[in-house]
Structure 1
Amino acid sequence: MNEIANIRTGEAQADSADPMPHSIEAEQQLLGAILTNNDIYDRVAQIITDKHFYDPVHARIFEVAAARIAKNNLASPVTLKAFLEDDEGLKELGGPAYLARLAGAAISAYAARDYAQMIYDMAIRRELISLGNNISTKAARVDVESEPKEQIVEAEQALYNLSEQGRTDTGFVSFLKAVTEAVQSANAAYERGGGLAGVSTGLIDLDKKLGGLHPSDLLILAGRPSMGKTSLATNIAFNVAKAYKKGKKPDGSEGAVEGGVVGFFSLEMSAEQLAARILSEASEVPSENIRRGDMTETEFRRFVEAAKTLEACPLFIDDTPALPISQLAARARRLKRTHGLDLLVIDYLQLCRGMSDNRVNEIAEISMGMKAIAKELNIPVMALSQLSRQVESRDDKRPQLSDLRESGSIEQDADVVMFVFREEYYVEREKPSDDKLDEMAAWQERMDKLHGKAEVIIGKQRHGPIGSVDLSFEGRFTRFGNLVQPWQQGGNDEY
């Protein structure tokens, strides 16, 4: 064991000169145990990754061994030799013979988890030291552009990343690891019936077009006032929270296996108003009746029963107005840390605040910030957005990407841009006078065709097709639903 621990020339001196916590011996013992008995990898895989190793050569040995074991192939000094014999770092340690010495000096398997935990703890300590040094250096440097409040948010973000992922900065990721994650995502979609890799919206046709709401995606839901943006976002948030089931995910971690925990930043409406909308949809009592308290006994009973059912729904609402994007990110991190978070909804983007005095630059900062939240927390973020008035001046009122208000960066940062469009709203305002019978008949026929229908136009989708999705819309309950097509008229009420 002494021989293997001192393979590197001057390693003992390097250990004493380097103040960063680490244990080369623990790394060697763990790698040797894995190369001797591949079953040990399964015991330690949930504790450490290659990123937790102090020695970069050890990290590469662990990564290659893990990749082979994941494919049910043998990882031994002989099989790993082909993958690592050209590794410059390994050559310094004696080449492939170092792998054989690791396996030969390995202790029994019972201590493997303890060594893995020790390696993980050392890695976290190194990150904490590095993070503390950065915070200290920034705080000591008095700079007009670096406000203390911003420094606190940055420090909180870095600490959050460390507590969640065990590291503050991901840096480069090998293609091997990226491919593995892509295969796991495809496998999750396949196991769900070949449809969804992401969280289901509860709207069948929209799910088919989007493949669900994907982690790390920024989805923009835009529309003119009265189109039903907030209603659709609320419906999706409610559907996701209502379907929430906790269990073991394919990667072995605990989390949402169906639906998810939803965070809703309601910058326009109060939490009470938003809750009333959700209760209106769930109890099928018109929202204006709820607001006025004008309900029959049956409706009130339904309303109370719906409220009881929804008490346990993992839907969290923050109605603080004019939130800066940095605070919004900090609150989202806190929610994920305390309750979990699988979908974040922001109503709406233009009501957030940035640091810039220029409105276009401010919106660009906000949209980039929202995309950063999606990537950092690895969740879908759905942000609502207003459209410019130029829509109203066109004959065809269907929105386009160019109608997104105040900044082209929204279109650029978003992975998906969707528009809510209800033609019924515009046709209703074209009602002719009662004495024009022919025009009135044509208008009435058109209204009958459009009544209760809405359209979600997908103007941009980074990972899929664009196009339109037809939905039903019940204005009384502010509820969007799956639209039964003519060819489905056969009693299939669930569609």
Structure 2
Amino acid sequence: MNAETIRLIPSEDGGLQTVLPHNIEAEAALLGALMIDNRLVEDVQLKLKPEHFFESVHGRVYEAILRLADRNMVANPVTLKPMFEADEGLKQLGGLGYLAMLTGSGAALIGARDFAQQIYDLALLRALIGVGRTMVEQAMDTSEDVDPKSQIEQAEVELYKVAEQGGESGSVKSFVQAATEAVKQAERAFNSGGHVSGITTGLDSMNAKMGGLHRSDLIILAGRPGMGKTSLATNIAFNAAQRLIRDREDGMEEGKSLGAAVAFFSLEMSADQLATRILAEQSGISSENLRMGKINKSEFRRLAQAAAELEQLPLFIDDTPGLTIAALRTRARRLKRQHKIDLVVVDYLQLLQGSGRGGDGNRVQEISEISRGLKQLAKELHVPVIALSQLSRAVEQREDKRPQLSDLRESGSIEQDADIVLFVYRGEYYIAARRPDDNDPKLAEWQAEMERAYGIAEVIVAKQRHGSTGRVPLKFEAMITKFSDLADISGYDLGGE
């Protein structure tokens, strides 16, 4: 099926008007295919948006199909009918019977992805024509002060927007891809100068407190900047993926392992940055030294060996920025189907976007939609979802810096939707910040306090549907961003119920 190219047709005033590139038949065929097989929505949703359709009615039908699919409802002419009974545009195309007509040919199922690609490509061409037309009109208009440089800059911005429209797709990387890139970066820098009923966290003390990570649970992991919440999430993700590999090698039956294939949605850090952290932990080399290339030959050999050992690690990293909650759920479903993931990590919740349908810019409502969507994802895929979250600055105003549930930003819905709320707290961080001067008589007292807190972190279980709250002390090695069990917790205040 060939797309219509740009052409001129007679206008009502006797002149000529431009018909922009489009293919109405491809749009109709795609909508028919989506209504026949709703599973195709997952394949086209990430790139194709309602505004990419030339026929506005087609765009509205496509948007309605996406809405129904996101709610796990069947999208077909019958379920769409109530949504379009008053649609004047659809009436002009033949009314509700037009929806049924779209599904008349099953042949469109074969070429659905090709139709979606062509619709998208033609939309980009129309956007380019729009940018070009605006450039010409502005360049021809000399009625105001002429500023060619600013016009060029504006044109560059508009062209960049067009180029970036497809940037959201294809960003999922296997761990070996991310780790390979991390090793390459390190090489370039070097050459230039318990009782577990759920999925294991890899930390016996946390497993003992929580029983592991339970399926269908939403686990909120929160902390102030510098506390190490991303490090803890990365450690847990790695530990779960490594345990799955070990159990497979031991011949354990599928579904019996305490490990899990992991989907890690990193909205803040790139995939190779996360891989660098994991490689630093496994090789025992400072992640900062890896980035700076401050390693010797034996350390580089250790790094290469660690990367080789982790090639088969079932850890899949999606570092697409600015994901909506709907797009994240779609990607997670696909990873579940393709790689049988059993754990999802999102870093972090506040960087996700809502549907934007509210239109009033209410961030609290948007966060509610996101936290509710993450909980629905956990239940739908039957996997634990760990979502990292920011804390408000209220923590810094108190003498005791340990976080509380009320410190969660936009906390109402997050606290309500979460099955478990964990806070990461490192007293060492705050003690170091109030170091007295060298000649201060309190220096010795500060040094003793610093020595007691050095390398110790707490995971505060502030809410747990399945058990008690309290504190879990852990060892934290900041140089390699690694959490591990504390050898001796005698005399440690565990708090809690």
Report if aligned partners of 2:348, 2:388 keep a CA contact under 8 Å in 1.
Answer: yes
| Alignment partner of 1:449 is 2:363 | no
In structure 2, the partner of 1:434 is 438
Report if aligned partners of 1:220, 1:384 keep a CA contact under 8 Å in 2.
Answer: yes
Out of 398, 419, 423, the residue aligned to residue 423 of structure 2 is 419
Change (3 A) 1:129 1:318: closer
In structure 1, the partner of 2:265 is 265
Report Cα offsets for 1:190-238 as digits up to 9, x if no partner: xxxx822100100001001110000000000000000000000000000
What amino acid maps onto 1:485 in structure 2? Answer: D
How far off its partner does 1:406 sit?
Answer: 1.8
Q: Give percent identity, aligned residues only.
A: 55
In structure 2, the partner of 1:462 is 465
Deviates more, 1:393-402 or 1:351-360: 351-360
What amino acid maps onto 1:259 in structure 2? Answer: G
Report Cα offsets for 1:443-475 as digits up to 9, x if no partner: 000000000000000000011100000000000
CA distance in structure 2 between the partners assigned to 1:149 and 1:322 by the alignment: 20
Unaligned stretches of 5+ in structure 1? 1-127, 133-138, 161-193, 489-495
How far off its partner does 1:296 sit?
Answer: 1.3
TM-score, normalised to structure 2, is 0.60
CA distance in structure 2 between the partners assigned to 1:258 and 1:221 by the alignment: 20
CA distance in structure 2 between the partners assigned to 1:147 and 1:456 by the alignment: 48
How far off its partner does 1:272 sit?
Answer: 0.8
- Note the 1:144-159 alignment, pairs <5 A: 148-149=62-63, 151-152=65-66, 154-155=68-69, 158=72
Q: CA RMSD in A?
A: 3.0
| Alignment partner of 1:371 is 2:375 | yes
Report if aligned partners of 1:131, 1:158 keep a CA contact under 8 Å in 2.
Answer: no
What amino acid maps onto 1:396 in structure 2? Answer: D
Report if aligned partners of 2:405, 2:411 keep a CA contact under 8 Å in 1.
Answer: no
What amino acid maps onto 2:353 in structure 1? Answer: R
Residue aligned with 1:243, SS: helix
Report if aligned partners of 1:367, 1:410 keep a CA contact under 8 Å in 2.
Answer: yes
CA distance in structure 2 between the partners assigned to 1:443 and 1:342 by the alignment: 45
Residue aligned with 2:353, SS: coil
| Alignment partner of 1:325 is 2:325 | yes
How far off its partner does 1:256 sit?
Answer: 5.6
Change (3 A) 1:325 1:144: farther
Residue aligned with 2:397, SS: coil
Change (3 A) 1:342 1:212: same
In structure 2, the partner of 1:206 is 206
Report Cα offsets for 1:341-400 as digits up to 9, x if no partner: 110000000000002421000000000000000000000000000000011011110000
CA distance in structure 2 between the partners assigned to 1:144 and 1:441 by the alignment: 74
Report if aligned partners of 1:261, 1:342 keep a CA contact under 8 Å in 2.
Answer: yes
- Note the 1:20-419 alignment, pairs <5 A: 148-149=62-63, 151-152=65-66, 154-155=68-69, 158=72, 195-245=195-245, 254-255=254-255, 257-355=257-355, 356=358, 357-419=361-423
Change (3 A) 1:150 1:292: farther
Change (3 A) 1:130 1:341: closer
Change (3 A) 1:144 1:364: farther
Report if aligned partners of 1:153, 1:326 keep a CA contact under 8 Å in 2.
Answer: no
Residue aligned with 2:389, SS: strand
Residue aligned with 1:469, SS: strand
Residue aligned with 1:470, SS: strand
What amino acid maps onto 1:474 in structure 2? Answer: E
Change (3 A) 1:360 1:257: same
Change (3 A) 1:143 1:291: same
CA distance in structure 1 between the partners assigned to 2:407 and 2:58 by the alignment: 37
Deviates more, 1:148-157 or 1:412-421: 148-157
Report if aligned partners of 2:198, 2:258 keep a CA contact under 8 Å in 1.
Answer: no
In structure 2, the partner of 1:58 is none
CA distance in structure 1 between the partners assigned to 2:350 and 2:64 by the alignment: 21
Change (3 A) 1:305 1:143: same
Residue aligned with 2:238, SS: helix
How far off its partner does 1:155 sit?
Answer: 3.0
Residue aligned with 1:258, SS: coil
Deviates more, 1:479-488 or 1:317-326: 479-488
What amino acid maps onto 2:393 in structure 1? Answer: R
Change (3 A) 1:312 1:256: farther
Residue aligned with 1:362, SS: helix
Report if aligned partners of 1:244, 1:256 keep a CA contact under 8 Å in 2.
Answer: no
In structure 2, the partner of 1:170 is none
In structure 2, the partner of 1:122 is none
Out of 481, 484, 488, the residue aligned to residue 478 of structure 1 is 481
What amino acid maps onto 1:426 in structure 2? Answer: Y
TM-score, normalised to structure 1, is 0.60
What amino acid maps onto 2:480 in structure 1? Answer: F
How far off its partner does 1:152 sit?
Answer: 3.1
Report if aligned partners of 1:419, 1:457 keep a CA contact under 8 Å in 2.
Answer: yes
Change (3 A) 1:466 1:284: same
Change (3 A) 1:145 1:447: farther
Structure 1's consecutive aligned runs of 4 or more residues displaced over 2 angstroms after TM superposition are 128-132, 142-160, 252-256
CA distance in structure 2 between the partners assigned to 1:156 and 1:256 by the alignment: 31
CA distance in structure 1 between the partners assigned to 2:69 and 2:407 by the alignment: 37
